[in-house]
Structure 1
Amino acid sequence: MKSKDLPSSLKRRQVSLVLGAAVLGISTTRTAHAQSAADYPNKAVKIVVSFTAGGTTDIIARSVGNLMAEQLKQSFVVENKPGSGGNIGNEMVARSPADGYTLTVASVGPMAINPTLYKDLRYDPLTELVPIVLIADVPNVLVVSPKLPVNNYKEFVAYLKSQPKGSMNYGSTGVGTSAHLSSFMLMDALGTDAQHIPYKGAEALNDLLSSRIDFMFATIPSVISQIKAGKLRAIAVSSPKRSRSMPDVPTVAENGIPDFAAGSWFGMLAPRGTPQEIIDKLNKSANQAMVSLEARFISEGADPVGGTPEFFKDFIQKEYVKWKKVVIASGASAR
């Protein structure tokens, strides 16, 4: 007998059973999520860092992960997966089960710059990774070798403009990185030019220390010890406000380029579909960790941020829009 031939009472009963099963399924799913969040984590949590050990991303991930492990009574293990400007590690996390046991601490490059810089990304970090918390803002600082005859931003600009266009050079940690694009933005705003020399990782800093290159923008944590030791001279920071780590160093913005903002930042994310209860639990724990880490972060060159997942989501979107314009203007491209 077909459904249309059933008596109306049986039809009503059939519909009720279907609806009941659907409601039961939703209720069961919600209960499972609630239970998974209640006992989460019950095994080790992996934090994937898409860069090499010892770098700024790695240090921040380990610092926050260690305190979260103490709070949540479970191991948080950092695994380094460098390559392709941070894309390899982030894609690995995006493809992982959405159960809260594989996370990433990512930076401005993989999240906000690479979607424009790379034309063949196999995943979309803006949709396939969900924000947990913005951990820290890390301004880039314009640094020069003490052998360069400049002591402050005004002298740096005057010296730069006194040289033939393109005769000076600057280093970066790679094409399309915030270090590269920060210098491009500054040259563009000043109406001058310098030769860009991309490096891999710390090689740029080594050449700056030996005066093989003239200047570069670098994250404060990566150069703060050399600045304190007098091996490098800090000229200006790229953030809209002065860094709490280096309050005596002025911003580029306060030196005549009011809209200049080109810093780095670091945040924790999870695969799309991770239960909101787990996201909220991780967010609470990370925020608590940052309270304990505030003094240490500031001394090392990072400004702790914190906040809600929603705040971080909006922040990433704004950063993507900002950096998309810069990448296109610079002509930078990575394959």
Structure 2
Amino acid sequence: MIAPPAFAQAYPAKPVRIVIAFSAGGTTDILARSVAQKLGEQLKQSFVIDNKPGAGGNIGTESVVRSAPDGYTLIVNSVGPIAVNQTLYKNLPYDPLKDLVPIVQIADVPNVLVVHPSVPANSFEEFVAYAKANPGVLNYGFTGTGTSSHLSSYMLSKRIGTETTHVPYKGANALNDLLSGRLQFMFATIPSVIPHIRAGKLRALAVSSDKPSRSLPGVPTVAEKGFPGFAAGSWFGFFAPKGTPEPVVALINRTVNDILPSLEEQMIREGADPVGGSPAQFGQFTQREYEKWKIIVRDSGATPE
């Protein structure tokens, strides 16, 4: 008797690990957990978050690059590890654009220019005028060298053509010092500061995306206020190790696209704009982002802490 052909078990046949290359509680982690829960409900399997922070996201990212391409290790990653770090870090032992497979973009998360209420500026135009009239007076912080927060501030200072003082931080201390008034301004992801904007502890002057954010209606873009082409935000999406079977990639892509509408209201409330789309669209987008940030990182002279 001839044995019937062996077919692989339907995916996912066991829990799927989703690596986050940053600490719990950050924007990447929050978005990933929301989507992971819905994935589990749709695909009747556990999608377990595994935080692996360190080295600007490189530790968690490399762990996925080295993982078996069987669909049971995925990563939700962002602009830094995918589009910035191969320029920022010399001799990175992998290429995220070649060694990871793009699956689907979850969301765009613009940076927002926020100032402490002590800064005498109620609009972006007033901020620019004050910065030009007071060179060297304004201090800005950022959450890490080479982050979109850092590079957005660098880009704006250069475009304005005035001197501002940057103070490097790691993690949330920059925001704490902005809230206390030790810093005067920063670009921050909208989810990290939207509660403080709503509470009146920070003033939102402009967003760094090429179009207004649905999370902050009425807040203009930097580009429309006289700085065309200024687009420097964060974004988040699913990737898998190179070689992951195409049907797995297609299934995760299709399912995430199906569930994003149910998360839309929550995401916008928290500061993210849902995206979706095909793996090919996401791959083209990440390549464009790499090319853009490569120029900015080199021009800024940024080096890892």
TM-score, length of structure 2 as denominator length: 0.97
Partner of 1:111: 82
Aligned twin of 1:259: 229
Q: How does 1:225-236 map to 2 (within 5 A)?
A: 225-236=195-206
Contact 1:129 1:269 (8 Å CA) reproduced: yes
> How many equivalent residue pairs?
301
Of Structure 1 and Structure 2, the greater helix share is in: 1
Say which SS state the counterpart of residue 120 (structure 1) adopts.
coil
Matches of 2:63 and 2:256 in 1, distance apart? 22
Identity of aligned residues (%): 63
Match of 2:257 among 287, 291, 295: 287
C-alpha distance in 1 between matches for 2:274 and 2:20: 19
Hey, which bits of structure 1, 4+ residues long, moved more than 4 A?
none
1:245 to 215, 222, 234: 215
Q: What residue ranges of structure 1 are gaps of 5+ in the alignment?
A: 1-30
The structure 1 residue matched to 2:32, chosen from 61, 69, 73, is: 61
- Does the alignment pair 1:199 with 2:162? no
Give, in whole Å, the separation in 1 of the partners of 2:304 and 2:169: 14
- Counterpart residue number, 1:158: 129
The answer to whether the Cα contact below 8 Å between 2:132 and 2:161 also exists between their aligned partners in 1 is: no
Distance across 2 between alignment mates of 1:90 and 1:288: 26
Aligned twin of 1:96: 67
Q: How far 1:168 moved relative to its partner? A: 1.6
The whole-number CA distance in structure 2 between the counterparts of 1:290 and 1:56 is 16
The corresponding residue for 2:141 is 171
Local SS of the residue matching 1:127: helix
- Structure 2 residue runs without a partner (length 5+): none
- The SS at the match of 1:266 is strand
Please point out which of 76, 90, 94 is paired with 1:123: 94
CA RMSD between the two structures: 1.1
- Structure 1 counterpart of 2:44, one-letter code: K
TM-score by length of structure 1 reads 0.88
Report if aligned partners of 1:119, 1:334 keep a CA contact under 8 Å in 2.
no
For 2:48 and 2:87, the matched residues in 1 are separated by: 31
**Amino acid across the alignment from 1:267:** G
What CA distance in whole angstroms lies between the structure 2 residues aligned with 1:327 and 1:123?
19
Q: What CA distance in whole angstroms lies between the structure 1 residues aligned with 2:277 and 2:170?
A: 33
Q: How far apart in 1 are the matches of 2:89 and 2:304?
A: 5
Whether 2:258 is the aligned partner of 1:297: answer no
Letter in 1 for 2:73: T
Cα distance in 1, alignment partners of residues 156 and 163 from structure 2:
9
Looking at structure 2, the residues matched to 117 and 215 of structure 1 have their Cα atoms a distance apart, in angstroms, of 24
| Matches of 2:110 and 2:131, distance apart in 1 | 22
